[in-house]
Amino acid sequence: MSEIAERVKKIVVEHLGVDADKVTENASFIDDLGADSLDTVELVMAFEEEFGVEIPDDAAETILTVGDAVSFLEKNTA
Amino acid sequence: MFDLTGKYALVTGASGGIGGATARALHAQGATVTLSGTRAERLEGLAHELGERVHVVACDLSDRDAVDALVPKAEELMGRLDILVNNAGITRDNLFMRMKDDEWDKVLEVNLTASFRLTRAAVKGMMKRRYGRIVGITSVVGVTGNAGQGNYAATKAGLIGMSKSLAQEVASRGITVNTIAPGFIETAMTDALNEKQREAILASVPAGRLGSGADIASAVVYLASDEASYMTGQTLHVNGGMAMI
């Protein structure tokens, strides 16, 4: 697992209070990890803070799974 | 009770009667306050009067770029924003059938759209900190309607619906969103009334007087306080009994 993936996973575990082994690449925040829509907004805010990037609304709407977040951040962080 | 020491507030329309009184009251309870409005001289005068714990950011709420810059600026000046008071409002009264598009648009933009944009910006930081107080100053006419004020009343009713919706979204994050609906208050807005209109109004107010800015400011202080943490999505009617809703 990449360093970015590890950091994403840590944020998701902390924010949603779920077991780390449930936070797999294909896990959907809402369907698998019990997030509500407001949690997903907060996760995006937490990613922005952790990685020092801005995630525009249209990109944020496509981040539905852990893997989506990791691949967006891998592409958009230095 | 209602101690606001260590809290950071932004008040729009602080150069007006209700906004100025609100800024004074929040400040008196210990809050640090950023005053926003269009009349820079008045804002500076009020800031001078309040002394410490005060900042001034002039802002024309009909300018969207300026609106979007306001909350970040206030956060930069104060370090964070705990209390947002969307107080600024304008009127462009006209009979419905005579109302110009421009009169409609302008009132919607300043009273409702600017409140939406400021609130959207403010709620982000509040979510992170799990604490926030958003207070919108609506109006009795947003609930009762008022001949000649179709545009203004629409924005004031809109503010109530907007606040109730947001209140549902963010209640679990320690953020409350409420509105205050003043009745007739002594401000520049009511100074424009003639003597006959004033008399007619007073006849409809059981308290027998127009309200003061301080009457509204007290309600803002309550809603902004920690003590009001279980109060959200509500409208406080402060109107001397003219409409009992």
Q: What is the mean pLDDT of residues B113-132?
A: 96
- Which candidate in B169, B170, B177 is best for mutational testing of the A interface (most A CBs within 10 A)? B169
Nearest CA in chain B to A49: B128
Task: Write down the residue that tokens 């027998």 correspond to.
Answer: B208
In a domain, B179, yes or no: yes
What is the reported pLDDT for B197? Answer: 84
pLDDT the model gives residue B17 = 92
**DSSP secondary-structure letter at A42?**
H
Q: Which of B71, B72, B79, B188 is nearest to B134 (CA)?
A: B71
Task: Name beta bridge partners: B177.
Answer: B134
Containing domain of residue B134, as a range? 8-236
Q: Is B153 labelled a binding residue?
A: yes
A5 confidence band (pLDDT: 50, 70, 90):
very high
Q: Please provide the average confidence, as pLDDT, over all residues in chain A.
A: 93
- Average pLDDT of chain B is 96
Q: What's the Cα-to-Cα distance from A71 to each of A12, A65, B81, rounded to whole Å? A: 15, 10, 33
Res. A65: pLDDT tops 90: yes
* Residue B14 forms part of a structural domain: yes
Checking if the pLDDT of A48 tops 80, the result is yes
Q: What is the DSSP letter of A65?
A: B
User: Nearest CA of chain B to the CA of A46: how many Å?
Assistant: 9
Residue B95 DSSP SS3: coil
Cβ distance B169 to A45 less than 8 Å, yes or no, reads no
How far is the CA of B178 from the CAs of A58, B88, B151, B223, B234, in angstroms?
Answer: 30, 15, 21, 7, 5
Chain A hits for B173, CB-CB cut-off 8 Å, are 38
Point out the residue among B128, B169, B170 whose CB comes nearest to the CB of A45: B128
Which B residues 105-134 touch A at CB under 8 Å? 124, 127-128
B40, B61, B69, B71, B72 from B65: Cα distances, Å: 18, 9, 6, 11, 12
- CA-to-CA distance for B156 and B154, rounded, in angstroms? 5
Position B130 confidence tier, pLDDT thresholds 50, 70, 90 = very high
User: In the structure, what pLDDT confidence band is assigned to residue B27 with cuts at 50, 70 and 90?
Assistant: very high
Q: Which amino acid is at B101?
A: D
Q: What is the pLDDT of residues B66-97, one digit of tens each?
A: 999 999 999 999 999 999 999 999 999 999 99
- Per mean pLDDT, which range of B29-38, B118-127, B191-200, B215-224 is the poorest? B191-200
* B217: in domain: yes
Residues 16-35, chain A, touching B (beta carbon < 8 A): none
Give contacts of A45 with chain B, Cβ < 8 Å. Answer: 124, 127-128
Here the CATH number for the domain that contains residue B228 is 3.40.50.720
B172-230 residue pLDDT tens:
999 999 999 999 998 877 787 888 888 888 999 999 999 999 999 999 999 999 999 99
Which of B201-227 are b and which e, b meaning 16 or more Cβ less than 10 Å from the residue's Cβ?
Answer: eeeebeeeebbebebbbbbbbbbbbee
A45 touching chain B per CB within 8 A? yes
Taking an 8 Å cut-off on Cβ atoms, the answer to whether B124 and A42 are in contact is: no
Q: Smallest CA–CA separation between B84 and chain A, in Å?
A: 20
∠ CA(B221), CA(B222), CA(B224), 5° rounding? Answer: 65
Q: Please state the pTM of the whole predicted model.
A: 0.93
Distance CA B27, CA B66 (A): 25
Count contacts between A and B (CB, < 8 Å): 11
Specify if B1 maps to a domain.
Answer: no
Residues of B in contact with A42 (CB under 8 A): 127-128
Residues of A with a known catalytic role: 36
The 10s digit of each residue's pLDDT in B6-17 is 999 999 999 999
- Please state, in angstroms and rounded to a whole number, the distance separating the CA atoms of residues B166 and B155: 16
Say if residues B229 and B195 touch (Cβ distance below 8 Å). Answer: no
CA A78, CA A39: separation in Å to the nearest integer? 26
Domain boundary assignment for chain A: 3-77
Alpha helices in B89-194 (DSSP H): 101-107, 114-129, 141-144, 150-170, 188-191
Give the pLDDT score at B102: 98
pLDDT over 80 at B41, yes or no = yes
Q: What is the pLDDT of residue B94?
A: 95
What does the angle CA B40 – CA B44 – CA B46 come to, to the nearest 5 degrees? 120
**Quick check: B185 and B211 in contact, CB under 8 A?**
yes
Q: Is residue B154 a known part of a binding site?
A: yes
Q: Is residue B28 part of a domain?
A: yes
What CATH superfamily classification does A3-77 receive? Answer: ACP-like (1.10.1200.10)
Strand-pairing partners, residue B57, are B36
Distance CA B27, CA B8 (A): 9
Segment A31-41 shows an average pLDDT of 94
In this model, does residue B231 exceed pLDDT 90?
A: yes
Residues B107-135: what's their mean pLDDT?
Answer: 97
Q: Is A38 on the interface with B (CB under 8 A)?
A: yes
| Total number of domains constituting chain B | 1
Helix segments in chain B, DSSP class H:
17-28, 40-50, 64-78, 101-107, 114-129, 141-144, 150-170, 188-191, 195-203, 213-224
